[in-house]
Amino acid sequence: MIDLNALADLGLLAYLLIFGLAALDVVVPVLPSEATVILAGVLAWQGRLSIVAVGLAAAAGAIVGDHLSYGLGRWTSNGGFRRSGGKVARLQAWAAQQLHVRGPTILLVARFVPGGRTASTFMSGRLRFPLARFSGITCLAGPLWAAFAASLGYLGGSTFHDHTLLATGLGVAVGVTLAALAELALRRFGIFGKPAPEVTVADEDLAA
């Protein structure tokens, strides 16, 4: 766990650390990205860091990391795995179908669920979810997550940093709420809920 004073002593490098952890924890989920952003929020409340810079560094890192995971997933679809049995192919086709219909909801919720970000972004690339749609969603989800985590520290002090389960539970609740609002908005404008075309995973996407 990163110490409060140790992070403050880094000065401007603290923002680089926040960016790096937010970007890389999608590949190495054990990295304490959210805890570090919460801690930075505490320091911002104390006047030792800038809350705006903390939010921007975390948001930028989250967006970069999401695209890194997407790229890795896309790379594996070009030959990273050997073709598995029909059950795996059907499972991937089902996941692709769900992404087509509920992409915004899935990616928003996953952003706030431990491990969910890694799975959702990687599979988005693996199943060739359109990059333009993926980028649009993650460019919204990343800043929302960054603002949420930084606000926990800024408004809640060290409470949420010392009680990570409480922060995680609140994060899941926020993610579900945001996803529900997004789904309602998409339904309202007729974007969500339309029958999806049949989605299949091509043989070359499953073959090495």
- Predicted local confidence at residue 205, as pLDDT: 42
Q: What is the pLDDT of residue 197?
A: 47
> Helix H segments across the chain?
4-9, 13-24, 33-45, 51-77, 86-111, 116-126, 131-156, 159-162, 164-188, 203-206
pTM over 0.85: no
**Total domain count for the chain?**
1
pLDDT in tens, the chain (208 residues): 566 677 778 888 999 999 999 999 888 888 888 888 888 888 888 888 999 999 999 999 999 999 999 999 888 876 544 455 565 556 666 666 667 767 777 888 778 777 778 888 888 888 888 899 899 989 988 998 899 888 887 876 655 555 555 555 665 566 556 656 655 655 565 544 444 444 444 444 444 3
* pLDDT at site 2: 65
What is the domain extent for residue 114? 4-206
pLDDT at residue number 200: 47
Angle in degrees, CA 190, 195, 196, rounded to 5: 110
